[in-house]
Amino acid sequence: MAVSKKGEAGAKTRKAKKPDKKILVIVESPAKAKTIEKYLGDSYMVKASMGHLIDLPKSRMAIDVEHEFEPEYITVRGRAKLLKELQKDAKKSGEVLLASDNDREGEAIAWHLRNAIGAKSKDVPIKRISFNEITPQAIKEAVVNPAGIDEAKVNAQTARRVLDRLVGYNLSPLLWKKVKNGLSAGRVQSVALRLICEREKEVELFIPDEYWTLDADFKAAKSKHFVSRAQLVLWRGKKPELKSEAEVTEIIEKLKNAECRVGDIRETEKTVKPRPPFTTSQMQQTAANRLGFTSKKTMQIAQQLYEGINIGESRIGLITYMRTDSVRISRLALEEVRAWIAKNYPGDLPAAACEYAVGKKAQDAHETIRPTYVEYTPDSIKESLTRDQHRLYSIIWERFVACQMENAKTKTISIDINAGEGIFRIAGTKILRKGFMQVLKLLASKDEKGVSVPSVKAGDILTAERFYSEQHFTQGPPRYTDASIIKTLEEKGIGRPSTYAPTISVLLDRYYVTRSNKQLVPTLLGKMISDMLSEYFPHVIDAAFTATMETKLDEVEENRTSWPEMIREFYDPFKEQVDEVGKTLESYKGSLDEMTDLVCEKCGKPMIKKLGRFGFFLACSGFPDCKNTRSIPLAKCPKCGGDVVARKTRGRGKEFYGCANYPDCDFISHFKPLPDQNCPKCGWFMVEKYDKKNGSHKGCINPGCDYLHSNEDGEGS
């Protein structure tokens, strides 16, 4: 492949003779500039705009609602110096190539730069270049094929910006006036908050029911073959519904001396197809489920991989553009991956390339997320990447290569064991043909690794060696996680690939939502805001309406809709409703404040529980004369009797719960104490725990206590 040679050689210019003036290339980030600089020769100068240099001001709405919603753009505060430097560089250049990202935001950045630079350097040609990956070949092709600004794409970005500004700058002041300063509401974030709050109501209403399962180990009478952990699936011809330990014990007693014999053995072969390559949402969901990454972390690492990593002496963008809703693969990429598979797994190369259908809602502006060079396997560049970069790159590489390999074939073997009046069942999977599974490591599922089955045949006599009875509780609807809320937003057509991670971040930053065991839990404030918006602005934060607006924005980009008309249709009735609510809605200010029995240790006045930017805290009622504040006690320390309060680790700021008497007392808990709930068995405080076996459940923090919450007060096991 000789990537480094391409980089060292530099891109060919469009002139045989070296120009007297350099060509200025403007990208968005310094990292991207650094990478591209290595591919272009001395005839080019690469600079970074650091994102938007010109945008709407933050201090006011800046939309002329009377005249076609004309936005009032200004130079972003603190960016004037950088803009002047770029204008100065452009004056000295023979040509300017605007190379911001190939999406709506990137097009808007290029549009503003063209206008700002053109105003100062009218004789300098300004052109637009775009690329889907940062590789020597892609950059060279972009440079020799410049184009103009896509005005329709700029209009779509303007429409979204204006729409979001109109919603935010009308609803947010209403929240400041009626609830609390510093709050915000947004077109997409408020819909996401509503979904999370509605799910939380379902979680709170759910009452878990106790049930039991029964497994058993069997041994073949005339051999050493062992059947481990077969599950009781039928009792007296029906599916067992075991509600108590007593019922399970009764069955075990009846089975102890029962005749056991291997019954039906069923074999089912199945063809397993590889999954399509990643879109943005699929990458975020998989990274959350497999790697435990938040959506924000996934996009930050993907940005690093896209913009360029030093691999030996070369610097290369390792993946294609990471904001896409398409699974389309370029012809050159297909040729490269098929050549790699032919070399490394020749028996698993399909006769023709595998094609995947692009979703109806996909914009298809970019191809799928894939490695730029398949030869850079995860193992071959592991030393050049951080651990997180390597893990994310691995799943991108595995998913892409696997999608162009042959199907796998598996055989599932299900064995029934007749034991008295019951039937136990055990199943396992054998892989008959690995196919695409050969390249899966981080993405390999349990089935893809194979599960062994015992070597027994129908009619074999067995003896029951051991029984395993286990208590469970039915699980209610799961709270949303980063992965599941992104999946829901995508399915409902809300937002776009670039908006998923920022939407979740805003909800967390505003303290509308917190993370607990990777689940998104609405706060009291979040519930209040969601309820208020749902009651007075149901149309605005309706999922179907928001999805319709996304479709209309797509129509603007396709030149099928005039964006001022689209905005006018929405804005007039919306503004009328805002004004009406502003007059009639009662104030909720101070409604979240709560007087406590706690006393200020500085002045002796009562402490008030107040809501701040990062959650609830205690403040002296003597403010402003006394400005004492402290954390809210959540429980009593089981070691010293002090207060357990929320604390955060240094660096990452991860929350945990520790004794306020630290360092004299070193008690800590990684589970949040439940207010005023102590264990009925040992007296320690209760917490909400989460595990795959029991889901979300209440349990005792005492490691020596096995109490689990059930739907009947005072019960546990």
Q: Decide: helix, strand or coil at residue 421.
A: coil
Phi, psi of 8 (to 5 degrees): -70, -35
Contact 644, 634 (CB under 8 A): yes
Do strands 422-433 and 408-419 pair parallel, antiparallel, or not at all (unpaired)?
antiparallel
**Interatomic CA distance for residues 438 and 551, integer angstroms:** 40
Q: Is the dihedral of CA 63, 67, 68, 72 positive or negative?
A: negative
Q: One-letter amino acid identity for 438?
A: Q
Do strands 95-98 and 23-27 pair parallel, antiparallel, or not at all (unpaired)?
parallel
Do strands 695-700 and 643-648 pair parallel, antiparallel, or not at all (unpaired)?
unpaired
Residue among 301, 322, 439, 431 at smallest CA distance from 370: 322
The residues near 430 (Cβ < 8 Å, ≥ 6 apart) are 410, 411, 413, 450, 453
DSSP string, 562-591: -HHHHHHHHHHHHHHHHHHHHHHPPP-TTT
Q: One-letter amino acid identity for 515?
A: R
Phi, psi of 201 (to 5 degrees): -60, -40
Q: Decide: helix, strand or coil at residue 526.
A: helix
Q: Decide: helix, strand or coil at residue 37.
A: helix
**Interatomic CA distance for residues 432 and 422, integer angstroms:** 32
Angle, helix 524-536 to helix 151-178, in steps of 10 degrees: 110
Contact 444, 431 (CB under 8 A): no
**Interatomic CA distance for residues 261 and 77, integer angstroms:** 79
Q: In what order do the strands lie in the sheet with 695-700?
A: 673-678, 685-691, 695-700
**Interatomic CA distance for residues 665 and 671, integer angstroms:** 18
Whether 321 is a known active-site residue: answer: yes
Contact 46, 28 (CB under 8 A): no
Q: What is the DSSP letter of 435?
A: G
**Interatomic CA distance for residues 270 and 268, integer angstroms:** 7
**Interatomic CA distance for residues 41 and 56, integer angstroms:** 36
HSE (side-chain half, CA atoms, 13 Å) at 297: 15
**Interatomic CA distance for residues 318 and 400, integer angstroms:** 13
Residues linked to residue 594 through DSSP beta bridges, in sequence order: 609
Alpha-helical segments (H) within 374-471: 387-402, 446-449
b/e per residue 61-85 (b: at least 16 CB within 10 A): bbbeeeeebeeebebbeebeebbee
**Interatomic CA distance for residues 454 and 204, integer angstroms:** 43
Q: Indicate which residue of 321, 373, 393, 536 is catalytic.
A: 321
**Interatomic CA distance for residues 144 and 159, integer angstroms:** 32
The residues near 653 (Cβ < 8 Å, ≥ 6 apart) are none
Contact 210, 244 (CB under 8 A): yes
The encoded tokens of residue 596 equal 């406590």
**Interatomic CA distance for residues 250 and 248, integer angstroms:** 5
**Interatomic CA distance for residues 162 and 389, integer angstroms:** 36
Active-site annotation, residues: 321
